[in-house]
Structure 1
């Protein structure tokens, strides 16, 4: 569903209203039923989706480090602690309000994003060809949103300071390596090519040795094979350092011909509502995750 569609905007408004009326556990069951065709067992979670739903309701919102690392600005402090600050995408600026952005001083190409949710990104390839007022209006709308209320991801609601970040534009030919890490150890990865263009993207699940997994997403063209990049072992080592101490986290990197950059840490991929294909992989992947009640 397009983010600028009327149906999408109505759905988001209804989700916010519902978040004030119904408890998180109830909305998780309802949303899972709508998206996956089945509810979730939060009393005895077995599948990956059920365990992520349990963690996002009962544990992640109480974990200060999860909240910090979900924040796309404060995660930089965590990279510092892990001696990985040099893996960051170069930061051009950070502001609380759009009127503070020094537009004329920015380079011709850059990326604007907000720190407190997902998909709050605007890629500016040529600032002479974009409508600055429209961009500022969009950023201001995002700054007012409580992302955690949309798909029951309350750890995002704990990010109180909403900011605008400006990062260097890395180019269009980017490959994303997303490591699924369970109890402090990467187990497999999700690789996407050309995700910045979304509809043309190819996406595939792979074992850590680069071999294909029999699991796919039906909403994108299946990526059938990959050639591991030259610095892959170093990137995997970085993922291991970053996921230490977390029951689950997905550690993401941008891979370019010249190297790689840290992208983000995601604790609730798909909001815990990933439509696994084949469906039994929801259970197989779930067995990799031990949640400590």
Structure 2
């Protein structure tokens, strides 16, 4: 659904209103039923999606580390502290308001992002053709939004302040490598091409040796095979190190210019409503994710 369409804006407005008046657990169960056609079990979560739903309601918003690592600006400091600063996409600027952007100091190509959500991206391939006023209006609109309210991803709501960041343009042909990490262990990757606002035209799920998984996404074109890059083990080691402090995290990298860049840490892929085909993998992945200690510590009541 196009973000500028009436239906998209109406849905977003409805989600924000519902978030204000209806308990988060109720809304999560409703969205889960609408998107996946299943009843959400929060009392005894078993599947991958159920366990992440539990985490996003009861654990993630209470974890300062999760909130920091969800913040696309604050996570940069975290990555540097972990010793991986050389993998960060060069930062060209950061501002609290769009009006503060120093356009004249920016190169001809760059990427603008907001730090507090997903798909808040503007890729500028030619600054001369950019409508700066329209861009500023869009960025300021995003800055005012509570991204966490849309699909009850409460850790996004904890990100303060909202900021605009500008990163170096890595090129038009970027490949995305996403490592699914369970209790500190990378288990699978998916590879995507034609990255547009985190909605990939092509993706494929693979084991860590590069062999294809019998798992597809009906909403994307499937990649039948992948040739792992020469620096794959470097990414794998980094993903393992970055994931060891979390029950689950997806560690994302951009591949461009014959190297890799840290992209982001994702705690709720598809807002914890990720479709599986075959569906049995939802349960199989869930078995690999141990949240028993978190359930004891944080309980099941918000």
Are 1:35 and 1:273, in contact at CA under 8 Å, matched by a contact in 2?
Answer: yes
Alpha-carbon distance in structure 2 between the residues aligned to 1:103 and 1:2 = 27
User: What is the DSSP-based 3-state SS (H/G/I as helix, E as strand, rest coil) of the residue aligned with 1:253?
Assistant: strand
Compute the displacement of 1:196 (Å).
2.9
Q: TM-score, normalising length from structure 2?
A: 0.95
Unmatched runs of 5 consecutive residues or more in structure 1: none
User: What is the DSSP-based 3-state SS (H/G/I as helix, E as strand, rest coil) of the residue aligned with 1:254?
Assistant: strand
Aligned pairs for 1:131-280 (under 5 A) are 131-196=131-196, 201-280=201-280
Alpha-carbon distance in structure 2 between the residues aligned to 1:284 and 1:244 = 21
Compute the displacement of 1:197 (Å).
8.1
Alpha-carbon distance in structure 2 between the residues aligned to 1:147 and 1:173 = 28
How well do the aligned residues superpose, as a CA RMSD in angstroms?
A: 1.2
Alpha-carbon distance in structure 2 between the residues aligned to 1:271 and 1:178 = 16
Alpha-carbon distance in structure 2 between the residues aligned to 1:274 and 1:47 = 11
Alpha-carbon distance in structure 1 between the residues aligned to 2:58 and 2:200 = 37
Are 1:68 and 1:75, in contact at CA under 8 Å, matched by a contact in 2?
Answer: yes
User: What is the DSSP-based 3-state SS (H/G/I as helix, E as strand, rest coil) of the residue aligned with 1:238?
Assistant: helix
Alpha-carbon distance in structure 2 between the residues aligned to 1:220 and 1:5 = 21
Alpha-carbon distance in structure 2 between the residues aligned to 1:245 and 1:111 = 29
Q: Specify whether residues 262 and 13 from structure 1 end up closer, same or farther in structure 2 by C-alpha distance, changes over 3 A only.
A: same
Alpha-carbon distance in structure 2 between the residues aligned to 1:196 and 1:36 = 24
Find the counterpart in structure 1 of residue 12 from structure 2: 12
Aligned residues: 293
Alpha-carbon distance in structure 1 between the residues aligned to 2:4 and 2:110 = 22
Find the counterpart in structure 1 of residue 283 from structure 2: 283
Alpha-carbon distance in structure 2 between the residues aligned to 1:282 and 1:258 = 34
Q: Specify whether residues 64 and 189 from structure 1 end up closer, same or farther in structure 2 by C-alpha distance, changes over 3 A only.
A: same
Are 1:114 and 1:139, in contact at CA under 8 Å, matched by a contact in 2?
Answer: yes
Alpha-carbon distance in structure 2 between the residues aligned to 1:68 and 1:184 = 18
